[in-house]
């Protein structure tokens, strides 16, 4: 069936738009002019715009700029956007104008088009009513902050909390198990397995604290600065009023940015927050690597823990099972670290009163949040909850470690302890045998002080 079109007009003239779409001329021009890549404006940004436009309408009504009927109509359509009911009407590419103007207009046009359909009369104009007291230059940075905070709170924090809870349980379940510590990929002094797990847990707790600290800047909104930060065409107190409605509508303590000139041209809050995401990615990389090293084998590796076998690991080697969840974590970590470079570079490119690298910044930021949340959930569900210590292997490796000789330092000194370790390694004998052979301690004295399980 052939697509039907309708005629729309903007300041540049007439253009044909699909009849079943709510967008109008400016969205259609962007579709035609930016056929670049497959990356579309994230749905999280569109949802954030729903909250933003609803709050702006409420503020304009309160300040006497917009009548109650139009305010109610805009809010009704925004609620549909927030609920995801108008998904097919936001088709624009990430790779568009660097200010995000075309996506701001896409939202304005859809709200106007859908609102006029509901009212059965042409009540809403995308610029005059939906975009009232606003500019793309302050709305897009605002939508970036709203989307970022909402995704962090709704997706990432629950994922982090879930893995923290799993590690807490593993700590409790593995108390009393002593294993070999390792530094520089070499044997070190003993450590309780629960202590090792506690290090993983605290990495996540610290990462969450860092992200929460970064949230403070993200909760400041540029809205009210309009085109260059002066607030031109916005009524007095619009910035404070609209921020209050964003807070009310989202349940998140958003406030107006004190300096709108900074809010429009700087992305340092996004950079700072993404740095915390990068730190989380680095911690997850470390945790995943620890887990797959400890589970390496099953016979010719460390093999000190077992992890769930979720799927066949090889197309040629029967029975092989790989640490695939760990590998997914490490790939996500690489992507997030790469995204951090893009976010930092984009933030450095602001000129005068505006940064025009906004879509690429928020695309990478939201991808990082989404990937981290998803992979942490996956790792938790498909790997971490099933970690089990191989006590026999841990005990064998522990008692075979030459670095247990450190326990002898207080009795025979560092230099003599080094001689013991070197002799034991050279002749492939135990530390006890080496100590006695060097006539540094009697067997009875050695047994009295050499207790690996008490070295933690």
Active-site annotation, residues: 184, 314
Q: What is the pLDDT of residues 417-426, one digit of tens each?
A: 999 999 999 9
What is the per-residue pLDDT across 373-392, written as a single tens digit (0 to 9) for each?
999 999 999 999 999 999 99
**What are 331-356's pLDDT values in tens digits?**
999 999 999 999 999 999 999 999 99
Q: What is the mean pLDDT of residues 94-110?
A: 98
Cα dihedral across residues 407, 411, 413, 416: positive or negative: negative
- Summarised one tens digit per residue, pLDDT across range 286-304 is 999 999 999 999 889 999 9
| Residue 18: per-residue pLDDT | 97
Q: Cβ-count burial of 369 within 10 angstroms (0-12 exposed, 13-18 middle, 19+ buried)? A: buried
Phi and psi, residue 135, nearest 5°: -140, 155
Judge whether residue 369 has pLDDT over 80.
yes
pLDDT digits (tens, 9 = 90+) for 131-167: 999 999 999 999 999 999 999 999 999 999 999 999 9
**Residue the block writes with tokens 């707790």:** 205
pLDDT confidence of residue 315? 86
Domain with CATH 1.10.275.10 in the chain: 13-132
3: which 2 tokens? 């697509």
Residue 452 has pLDDT above 70, yes or no: yes
Residues 124/74, Cβ–Cβ less than 8 Å: yes
Cα separation values, 377 from 76, 121, 145, 163, 277, Å: 34, 47, 24, 7, 16
**Domain 401-454, classified CATH 1.10.40.30, yes or no:** yes
* Architecture of the domain whose range is 144-177+192-220+266-388: Up-down Bundle (1.20)
| Cα 275 to Cα 263: distance, rounded to the nearest angstrom | 19
Regarding predicted confidence, which is higher, 50 or 320?
Answer: 50
| pLDDT of amino acid 1 | 66
* Range 16-45 average pLDDT: 98
* Residue from 181, 192, 178, 189 nearest 417 by CA: 189
Residues of the chain with CATH 1.20.200.10: 144-177+192-220+266-388
User: CATH code for 13-132?
Assistant: 1.10.275.10
Residue whose C-alpha is closest to residue 137's, from 110, 102, 95: 102
Q: Where in the chain is the domain with CATH 1.10.40.30?
A: 401-454
């Amino acid at each position: 069936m052939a697509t039907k079109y309708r005629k729309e007009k903007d300041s540049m003239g007439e253009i044909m738009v699909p009849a079943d779409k709510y967008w109008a001329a400016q969205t259609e021009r962007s579709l035609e002019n930016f056929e670049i890549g497959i990356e579309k404006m994230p749905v999280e940004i569109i949802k954030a715009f729903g909250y933003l436009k609803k709050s702006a309408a409420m503020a304009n009504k309160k300040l006497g700029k917009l009548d109650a009927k139009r305010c109610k109509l805009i809010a009704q359509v925004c609620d549909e956007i927030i609920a995801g009911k108008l998904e097919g009407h936001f088709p624009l590419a990430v790779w568009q104008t660097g200010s995000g103007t075309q996506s701001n207009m896409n939202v304005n046009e859809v709200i106007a088009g859908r609102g006029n359909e509901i009212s059965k009369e042409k009540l809403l104009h995308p610029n005059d009513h939906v975009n009232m007291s606003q500019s793309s230059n302050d709305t897009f940075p605002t939508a970036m902050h709203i989307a970022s905070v909402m995704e962090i709170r709704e997706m990432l924090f629950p994922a982090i909390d879930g893995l923290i809870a799993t590690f807490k349980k593993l700590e409790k379940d593995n108390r009393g198990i002593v294993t070999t510590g390792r530094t520089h990929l070499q044997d070190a002094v003993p450590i309780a397995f629960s202590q090792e797990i506690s290090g993983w847990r605290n990495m996540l707790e610290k990462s969450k604290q860092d992200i929460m600290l970064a949230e403070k800047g993200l909760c400041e909104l540029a809205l009210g600065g309009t085109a260059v930060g002066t607030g031109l065409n916005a009524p007095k107190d619009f910035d404070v009023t609209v921020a209050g409605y964003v807070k009310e509508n989202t349940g998140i303590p958003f406030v107006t940015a004190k300096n709108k000139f900074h809010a429009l041209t700087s992305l340092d809050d996004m950079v700072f927050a993404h740095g915390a995401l990068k730190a989380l990615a680095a911690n997850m990389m470390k945790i995943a690597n620890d887990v797959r090293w400890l589970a390496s084998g099953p016979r010719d590796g460390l093999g000190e823990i077992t992890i769930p076998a979720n799927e066949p690991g090889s197309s040629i080697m029967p029975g092989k099972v790989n640490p695939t969840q760990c590998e997914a974590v490490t790939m996500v970590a690489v992507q997030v670290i790469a995204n951090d470079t893009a976010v930092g570079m984009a933030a450095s490119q602001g000129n005068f009163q505006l940064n025009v690298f906004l879509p690429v910044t928020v695309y990478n930021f939201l991808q990082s949040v989404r990937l981290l949340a998803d992979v942490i959930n996956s790792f938790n569900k498909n790997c971490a909850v099933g970690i089990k210590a191989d006590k026999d292997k841990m005990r064998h490796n522990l008692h075979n470690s030459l670095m247990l000789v450190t326990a002898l330092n207080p009795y025979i000194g560092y230099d003599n302890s080094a001689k013991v370790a070197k002799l034991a390694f050279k002749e492939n004998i135990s530390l006890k045998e080496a100590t006695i052979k060097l006539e540094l301690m009697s067997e009875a004295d050695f047994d009295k002080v050499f207790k690996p399980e008490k070295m933690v």
